[in-house]
Every structure is written in C-alpha cells, then in structure tokens.
Structure 1
Amino acid sequence: MSPHFHIPYAVPTVLLAIALVSRAPTFLRAWRDPEVRATTLLLLWATAVLVVITPANIDRLNRLTGVPNIASPWAYSFLTASCATGLAMIIRWREAPSPRRQRTIRRLYGAYAGVVVALWATFALADAPVPRIYDLDTYYADTPWMREHILLYLLAHLASCVVSTRLLAKWFPQIAHPWLKAGVVFLQIGFSSGLVYDAAKLTAVTARWCGTDWDVLSTRAAPPFALAQAALLAVGFIVPQAGPALTAWVRDRAEYRRLRPLWRTVKVLAPASAKARIGFWSPLDLRLLQRRQRIHDALRLLACHLDHGLYARAGRAAAALHGEDAADGLAGAVTVLAAVAACREGTPAAPADRPPRTAVDLSDHLDAVSLALRHPRTVDGVRRRATSTESLNVHV
C-alpha cells in the first residue's frame, strides 16, 4: 500500500476535525439551536467519511471486524447523512420558520434515513468476499446487490448535489449579507465538485457494465473532487456563522489595542472599586469591557483635576500645529496627563462646585486621546505651545 495515497486524505480530515473540535463549545452552549446542531452534525459526518475512507482505515476495519469491505456501508451512510444535513441547512437558510419548512425537512431526513437502511440491507445481501481498498465501486459494479448498493449512494449523493446547487443558484441574487454570500460561494463550488465526483464514478461504473475498463476515473480522477467537496462544504457552512464572530473579534481586538496607551496612563490611579480578576486567557470581549470600565472610572476620579482652560488652549495649539482633525485627541492627551499629575500631587485644577466639561468631552473621543498618547513627543510639543500661550496671556 503506497503512502502517497494517504497524503490527500490527511489534510482535509485534519482540517475538518479541527473545525469540529472548535465547534464543540458552541454546541455545548447552544445545542438546542437547529443551525448549531446541524453544523456540528455536518462536520461530524464529513469527518467520519474521510476517516473511514482513508485506505489504512479501510484495511484496518476489514481486519478488525473480519467482514470484507465493511467500510463501504459505514462510509456511504455517513456520506448520505451529511447530504441530508447539508440540504436541511440550506432549506433553513432560504425559508423562514414555518410548518411547511418543518414538514419538508422531516421528509428529507426520512428519505435519506431510508437510503441508509437500504445501504446496509443491500450490503448484507451482497456477496463481496474480496477486500477492495481503492476500486470497490468498479470491481463490484456487476455484482448483484453490491451494484444496487453502489448506485444507491451515488444517486443519493448526486440528487443532493443537484438540488443544493439549484437552490443556491436561485437564492444567491437575493442574499445581502456578505458572510452568508461568501459561504454560499464555497457551497456552490463544493457541490459542483461533488457533481464532478459523481459523474466520474458513474461513468466508470457504466463502463464496467459495457465491458470497458475506465476504472481510472473512479480510482484517480474522482477522489480529489470528493476531498475538495468535503473541505469546501465545511467552510461554506461555517463561514456564515464564524464570519460575524471573527469580525467582532477583530473589531474588539483593534479597540483593545487602541485604548492601551490611555489605559496605561490612567491605571496608576487607585480604582474606584475592587478590580475583578480577569486574566490574559479570559474572553477578549470581557477584557475589553474591563479596560473601558477602568478608563471611565479613572476619568471620574480625574473630574476635579481636568482643566478645561488647558484643554481649550491645547486644542488651539494642536489645531495650529497638526490640523483640526488631530486637535481633540492631542488636547485630551495633554489634559489627561496634567490631570493625572495633579491627582497624584493632590492639587485640584477646578473648584469643586463647578465641575469642568472636559470629562464629558473626553468620553466622546477616547480613541483619539489614546492614539495621541502613542506619540509622547507630539503631545509634549502641544503642551509646551499651550503653556507658552498661557504664559503670554498672563503677561499681557
């Protein structure tokens, strides 16, 4: 048995297994959600198919069970189950919840469950004593009951690919959500790969019926398209669910990093309340929430130290030096640094009975203030300009 046959199966199998494991937490949290359940089952069936059809595992199953070609009904049953699950998911995506949709999905599952039962029945009735690892479909193409066994899975798979491709093609122009549209593109390519697989297999089987040997279509041409279909369908069904979560993660990560300079500047102040213990491995959204809360708590502590006059002068100086777009962020950075220093020294910058507006103003552009704090030399230049302007006004 050549090891080269194992290479194509390993990569998609590992990728599907990783996707399945990554879905486990979501499944445990929301297993009642039909889409979550269906996605997890689809990944499970697709992974099971690739595990079973790996040549080494076919040989292992034959030897462990003592039943030649027992991998055939197992693999084809998993493939049929994944076809049913995929079709059901497409129907759920396309149609709003209704009794009609539920009936359609129940009939679909019933039909494919019947195919699975028929696969095992035909295998039990067939006489297939010679183990075939690579060419079972063509080797037993003329064998009673094995012929029906092979045709059952091929026609069930072909029907699911044709119906899915047709449904997706009609639905695609109506899709507005970008992640769902991307998922449908992967699905269309995946089901098209499945059609090529079925065409190659059926052509090779038909050739055997006609007394011609075109086995290469079944043993060499078809398998890569089956592997491509498994991987593409997994991606296609995961992308619409994982895409929005990934977008939110990227957005939160960017904000978390943007707020870091401001957070580092104000974290020297004593927190207004006990700090919750949130470690590096805590969810990003929780860490971002804590960082935002820490900054807002600090701004409340700084309220009596925020000098609105300094803020206004720094804004004019920043606008003159760096333009209006940078003025708010640089003015806020100068004011926060001065307020932190005043707070640590215990010298209020504004009367207690007249709280400044600056804290409210800063909350509207925290990102800009934090971005300005990344450039301490620029902030210091604005501070010196604002201070020199104040000195000039006092002198006059």
Structure 2
Amino acid sequence: MTTPSGLSFYIPGALLFLVACAKLPALIRNPRDQLLRSVWVLLVVSTAVFWCCAVPSIAAFNRLTGVPNAAAPLVYSLLTVFSGANISLIIRWSSGPEDAEKAARWSRRCYVATAVVIVAINALFLLGDASVERLRDLDTYYASTPYIREMILLYLVAHTTAAITMTILCRRWAREVHGELRAGLLLIVGGYGLNLAYDALKFAAIGAHWSGRNWDVLSVTYAASFASFSALLIGAGFILPLLSQRFMYFWTPWRRYYQLRPLWRELRDASEHSMSIGPSMRTPIAIRLVQVEADIHDGILTVSPHIDARVRSQALVAASESSRSDEEAAATADAAALAHAVSVWRHHQAAATDPEEHMNDHTESLTSAHTPTGLVRMSVALSSDVVQRFRRHAVVAESSPR
C-alpha cells in the first residue's frame, strides 16, 4: 500500500539508484556493450518510475509546471518506457551472437512502438481537459472524460500488452536455462503476473465507474500496491543473474585456491624449490592461485619417479566401488598413487638414496593431473579412505626391512 510520504516508492527507488551507480563504471569502460547499456537504462528508468510515481513527487511536479495533473502523462510515459526497456533487454539478453542482428531489429521496433505510445499519451492529455488535480484516483475520476479517458485506456492496453509479451518471452526462455538465470526469469514472470493483476484491477475500477459503481479502492489501494511490489520483483529478476555472475567472478578463484590447498600441502616438501611469492593479504588471488598450481606441478614432477602404475590400478579398482563417476574414481586413484609416491620419496630422502629403478618420469600415469578440474578432484580425494589406505601401505612397506 502506498503511503502519503511516498517512502514505499522512494526507498526501492534509492536502492535501484545505488545499483545503477555501481554499474556506471562498467558502462564507461565498455560503452559499446549493448546488453550492459540496456541494463543500465532499465535501472535508471526503474529509479525514475519509483521516484516519480510517489504522491509527493506527483504533487510537486504539478506545482512546478503549474498544470493540474501534468504528472499523469509523465508517469504513464515513464511506465511505458519501463515496459519497452524490459522487452528490449529480454530480446537482447536471450539472443546469441548469431541472432544479434535480428535482436537489434526487434529492439528497434520495440523502441518505435514505445515512442508512438508515449507521443499519443501526451497528445491525448493536451487535447483533453483535466483541470481538477487528482493525485491518487485520476484513472477513475477521469474515466469518462474525452481524450483523458482514451489516454488512460491507451496506457493500460500498452501496459497489459507489454506484461503479456514479457511473461511469454521469460517463461519460454526459463525452460531452456538453469541456475540463477532461471531464478531471475521466474522473478520477472512473477513481477509481470502482478502487473497483469494491476491492469485487471484498473480496468475493473474504470468499468465500475462507467456502470455507476464506485470501486475506486481497487485502483487507488490494491492496484498501487501490486505495482510497487511488481517493480521490485522485476528489478530483482534482472539484477540477480548479474550480481550472481559478479559474485562468481570473485568466488570461483578463491574456491579453487582453497580446494587445491590439501594437494599443495601433500606436495609441499617436494616443491620446496618452486617459485615463492611472499604471502600477503594484498596479494591478488590470481597470483596466489598461480603459485599454488606451480608448486603442485613442481611437486608432482619431483616425486614422479616413484609413481607406481600398479598402485594406481589397484586404487582405481577400490575407488570404483565407492565413487559416483568415472572421473571421481580416476582422481581418487591418481591421488592414491601420488600419496604413495610422496611417502616413498620421503623415505628415500631420509635414507639419502635414489635407486636407479625409480629415475623415470611417470607423471603420464596420473590422468587427472593434466587439467585444472582434475587437480581439484585429486585434492578433494586426498581425504578419502582409499587414499589413506594406500598412504599407510606405502609407509609400512618402506619402513619394513628389505
């Protein structure tokens, strides 16, 4: 429900404005990114819609212009721009590079249709007579006034058409995607479902006025509440995938870094001559990740003469019984063979021996060690029972008298 102070509109508008400001540097760096530009325009328009639709803003604009109800065509125009921007963004967002030209063509058509509706709304307002200021119930108060009536109906028809179009486009696309993008699309669908309810209440209140009934509460109270909440859902639906993408951009390297730490610790003694960058809280995660991966590969190369293909084969049989996939079983077998090799290498280091039969490079036996994902799987597998069992076996075998 709207409040006389307009806080129910100003607060969401302020939040959207902050998001728009946060996106502005990225737009300045990439001015030709059409998708980013469309998102930023949508955020700005959403902010303007919230701020201009508040009752205090409507009253202030009327006083500023000296024209009663001058805010009406402004609000209707902004809402029409908002709907057009949504459709254009979804068209660009859902189109691949091969459909870029087609998406641009449909976006231009959307812009033209939006412009025509806005011109018609303002022309009808100039032709009509709305001399009595109505801050909350203009739709029903002027439902029978020539030209003003047509302005109101044109806006509602355009708004309803946009809501139906967006619902169809988003539902169709949501069936093809997953994750945060699908969640965002479902939020948009929910928002436009509320928009359709808003339109239905408006039409019902106007129809009741034409038949001599007073259903103004549907338009003034309930429809306004639906409009406010729907705009929040739609904005959240567009922002969620973008924020998630930004979060994953920072989260993914940190997650990989910590996933590789067990493997790095396993090989730490064997990679003591690897590159060394002094640890610091200010060291970028990219550099930390490069160092950890370099240490791991250096350690694998150091212990590679002691990697036993027979141990890996035995571990693969054991891992296949409990693993959920072939990749997981292979990574567990590789981790077991590597842990076994590290134990053998440490024994020879302590005994200061380096038998000739162990001087060959057997890194090719570790199939998982050649891909970034494989390294992570190996690191995770180090804590498995299979790896622990083969590590203990290596310790016992090397400590036994020969």
Please report how far the alpha carbon of residue 49 of structure 1 lies from its aligned counterpart in structure 2 after TM superposition.
Answer: 0.7
Please report how far the alpha carbon of residue 223 of structure 1 lies from its aligned counterpart in structure 2 after TM superposition.
Answer: 1.7
Contact 2:277-2:291 within 8 A present in 1 as well: no
Please report how far the alpha carbon of residue 339 of structure 1 lies from its aligned counterpart in structure 2 after TM superposition.
Answer: 6.0
Per-residue CA shift, 1:273-303, capped at 9, x if unaligned?
Answer: 5749986695xxxx25741443324532673
Contact 1:165-1:191 within 8 A present in 2 as well: yes
Please report how far the alpha carbon of residue 215 of structure 1 lies from its aligned counterpart in structure 2 after TM superposition.
Answer: 0.5
Per-residue CA shift, 1:128-155, capped at 9, x if unaligned?
Answer: 4554332232233344543333233222
Q: What is residue 391 of structure 1 aligned with on the other side?
A: 399
Please report how far the alpha carbon of residue 84 of structure 1 lies from its aligned counterpart in structure 2 after TM superposition.
Answer: 1.3
Match of 1:370 among 373, 379, 401: 379
Q: Does 2:110 correspond to 1:108?
A: yes
The whole-number CA distance in structure 2 between the counterparts of 1:223 and 1:176 is 33
Matches within 5 A, 1:161-172: 161-167=163-169, 171=172
Contact 1:303-1:359 within 8 A present in 2 as well: no
Contact 1:306-1:356 within 8 A present in 2 as well: yes
Shifted more, 17-26 versus 209-218: the winner is 17-26
Per-residue CA shift, 1:163-221, capped at 9, x if unaligned?
Answer: 3344556x459x53325554443333332221211111122123333332110010112
Q: What is residue 87 of structure 1 aligned with on the other side?
A: 87
Shifted more, 78-87 versus 251-260: the winner is 251-260
Match of 2:141 among 123, 127, 139: 139
Contact 1:193-1:229 within 8 A present in 2 as well: yes
Shifted more, 198-207 versus 16-25: the winner is 16-25
Relative to the length of structure 2, the TM-score reads 0.73
Q: What is residue 219 of structure 1 aligned with on the other side?
A: 220
Contact 2:307-2:338 within 8 A present in 1 as well: no
Please report how far the alpha carbon of residue 85 of structure 1 lies from its aligned counterpart in structure 2 after TM superposition.
Answer: 1.8
Please report how far the alpha carbon of residue 28 of structure 1 lies from its aligned counterpart in structure 2 after TM superposition.
Answer: 3.5
SS of the aligned residue for 1:160 comes to helix
Per-residue CA shift, 1:46-73, capped at 9, x if unaligned?
Answer: 2221122123433444455555444333
The whole-number CA distance in structure 2 between the counterparts of 1:52 and 1:185 is 27
Q: Does 2:294 correspond to 1:296?
A: yes
SS of the aligned residue for 2:151 comes to helix
Assess, with a 3 A threshold, how the Cα gap between structure 1 residues 310 and 78 changes in structure 2: closer, same or farther. Answer: same
SS of the aligned residue for 1:259 comes to helix
Q: What is residue 329 of structure 1 aligned with on the other side?
A: 335
Contact 1:317-1:386 within 8 A present in 2 as well: no
Q: Does 2:329 correspond to 1:354?
A: no
The whole-number CA distance in structure 2 between the counterparts of 1:115 and 1:83 is 11
SS of the aligned residue for 2:361 comes to coil
Contact 2:307-2:337 within 8 A present in 1 as well: no
Assess, with a 3 A threshold, how the Cα gap between structure 1 residues 231 and 317 changes in structure 2: closer, same or farther. Answer: closer
Amino acid paired to 1:141: A
Assess, with a 3 A threshold, how the Cα gap between structure 1 residues 8 and 56 changes in structure 2: closer, same or farther. Answer: same
The whole-number CA distance in structure 2 between the counterparts of 1:274 and 1:192 is 57
Q: What is residue 39 of structure 1 aligned with on the other side?
A: 39
Shifted more, 74-83 versus 272-281: the winner is 272-281
Assess, with a 3 A threshold, how the Cα gap between structure 1 residues 272 and 139 changes in structure 2: closer, same or farther. Answer: same
Relative to the length of structure 1, the TM-score reads 0.74
Per-residue CA shift, 1:57-116, capped at 9, x if unaligned?
Answer: 334444555554443333222211111122223444369637665444323212211222
Long gaps (5+) in structure 1: none
Amino acid paired to 1:214: W
Contact 1:334-1:383 within 8 A present in 2 as well: yes
Contact 1:17-1:47 within 8 A present in 2 as well: yes
Shifted more, 151-160 versus 239-248: the winner is 239-248
Aligned length: 386
Assess, with a 3 A threshold, how the Cα gap between structure 1 residues 46 and 265 changes in structure 2: closer, same or farther. Answer: same
Amino acid paired to 1:9: F
The whole-number CA distance in structure 1 between the counterparts of 2:9 and 2:193 is 19
Please report how far the alpha carbon of residue 9 of structure 1 lies from its aligned counterpart in structure 2 after TM superposition.
Answer: 3.4
Q: What is residue 306 of structure 2 aligned with on the other side?
A: 308
Assess, with a 3 A threshold, how the Cα gap between structure 1 residues 186 and 334 changes in structure 2: closer, same or farther. Answer: same
Long gaps (5+) in structure 2: 323-328
Q: Percent identity?
A: 32
SS of the aligned residue for 2:134 comes to coil
The whole-number CA distance in structure 2 between the counterparts of 1:67 and 1:281 is 60
Q: Does 2:82 correspond to 1:76?
A: no
The whole-number CA distance in structure 2 between the counterparts of 1:348 and 1:99 is 68
Amino acid paired to 2:153: L
